[in-house]
Chains A and B, each alone.
Chain A
Amino acid sequence: MAKANMSPNRNPMPSQEAEVRAHNFDEVALGYSEETAIDEAMRCLNCKNMPCVEGCPVKIRIPEFIGKIKEGDFEGAYQVISKSSSLPAVCGRVCPQETQCESKCVRGIKGESVGIGRLERFVADWHNTFSTEAPVKPESNGHRVAVVGSGPSGLTCAGDLAKKGYKVTVFEALHTAGGVLVYGIPEFRLPKKIVAKEVEGLKALDVDIQTNVVIGKTLTVDELFEMGYEAVFIGSGAGLPNFMGIPGESYKGVYSANEFLTRSNLMKAYLENPNTPIMKGGRVAVVGGGNVAMDAARTALRLGAEKVYVVYRRSMEELPARKEEVEHAIEEGIDFRLLNNPVEILGYNNPDDARDPKNGFVTGMKCIRMELGEPDEKGRRRPVPVEGSEFLLEVDTVIISIGTSPNPLIKDTTEGLEVNRRGGIIVNEDALTSRTGVYAGGDAVTGAATVISAMGAGKTAAAAIDNYLSNK
Chain B
Amino acid sequence: MYKIIKKRVLNSAVIELHIEAPLVAKKAKPGQFIILRVDADGERIPLTVAGTDASNGTVKIIYQIVGGTTKKLSVKEEGDYIEDFVGPLGVATHLEGLKKVCVVGGGVGCAIAMPIVEALHKMGVETTSIVGFRNKDIVILEEEFKANSDRLIVMTDDGSYGRHGNVTVPLKEMLEAGEKFDMIITIGPLIMMKFVVATAKPFEIPVTVSMNPVMIDGTGMCGGCRLTLNRNGEKITKFACVYGPDFNGYEIDFDEAMSRGRMYADFERHAYEESCNLFKKEAK
Contact = CB atoms under 8 A, between A and B. Distances in A.
Interface string A225-267: 0000000000001011101010001101101101100110011
Nearest to A214: B219
Contacts of B99: none
A407 B259 contact: no
Contacts of B132: none
A458 B268 CA distance: 41
21 contacts: A173-B217, A175-B37, A175-B86, A213-B86, A217-B27, A217-B88, A218-B87, A239-B221, A241-B221, A243-B226, A250-B237, A252-B262, A252-B263, A256-B224, A258-B223, A262-B216, A262-B221, A276-B43, A360-B259, A409-B219, A409-B242
A256 B259 contact: no
Contacts of A357: 262, 265-266
Interface string B4-32: 00000000000000000001100100000
B222 A249 contact: no
A360 B263 CA distance: 9
B224 A217 contact: no
Contacts of B260: 250, 252, 360
Contact of A250 (B24, B221, B226): B226
B237 A249 contact: yes
B255 to A, nearest CB: 9
B237 A259 contact: no
Interface residues of B, number: 43
B220 interface: yes
A268 B271 CA distance: 15
Given A218-B27, A275-B43, A175 B223 contact: no
Given A173-B219, A277-B264, A409-B219, 6 more contacts: A183-B221, A213-B86, A241-B221, A241-B223, A275-B68, A407-B219
Interface of A: 173-175, 183, 211-214, 217-219, 237, 239-241, 243, 245, 249-250, 252-253, 255-256, 258-259, 262-263, 266-268, 273, 275-277, 357, 359-360, 407-409
A408 B243 CA distance: 10
B86 A259 contact: no
Interface of B: 23-24, 27, 37, 41-44, 68-69, 83-89, 216-217, 219-224, 226, 228, 237, 239, 242, 253, 256, 259-260, 262-268, 271, 274
Contacts of A407: 219-221, 242
B259 A259 contact: no
A409 B27 contact: no
Contacts of A241: 221-223
A250 B271 CA distance: 25
A119 to B, nearest CB: 34
Contact of A219 (B23, B216, B228, B256): B23
A469 B84 CA distance: 34
Given A175-B83, A213-B23, A259-B222, A275 B69 contact: yes
Nearest to A406: B220
Contacts of A266: 216
A231 B271 CA distance: 46
Nearest to A260: B222
B216 A240 contact: no
By Cβ-Cβ distance, the 8 closest A-B pairs, closest first, are A360-B259, A259-B222, A212-B86, A277-B267, A256-B223, A241-B223, A275-B43, A175-B84
A268 B42 CA distance: 9
A240 B237 contact: no
Nearest to B239: A240
Contact of A263 (B23, B85, B216): B216
Contacts of A276: 43-44, 216
A253 B30 CA distance: 33
Nearest to A360: B259
A62 to B, nearest CB: 34
A262 B215 CA distance: 11
Given A218-B27, A240-B239, A277-B267, A173 B86 contact: yes
B24 to A, nearest CB: 7
B87 A256 contact: no
Contact of B23 (A218, A243, A277): A218
Contact of A408 (B69, B242, B266): B242
B259 A252 contact: yes
Contacts of A213: 23, 86
Contacts of A268: 41
A211 B266 CA distance: 32
Contacts of B271: 275, 277
A240 B217 contact: no
B89 A214 contact: yes
B109 to A, nearest CB: 23
Contacts of A173: 86, 217, 219
Contacts of B86: 173, 175, 212-214, 218
Given A258-B223, A267-B216, A212 B41 contact: no
A243 to B, nearest CB: 6
B222 A256 contact: yes
Given A276-B43, A277-B264, A409 B220 contact: yes
Nearest to B216: A262
A267 B43 contact: yes
A243 B88 CA distance: 26
Contact of A217 (B89, B263, B265, B268): B89
A177 B137 CA distance: 44
Contacts of A249: 237
Given A211-B84, A252-B260, A276-B43, A239 B220 contact: yes
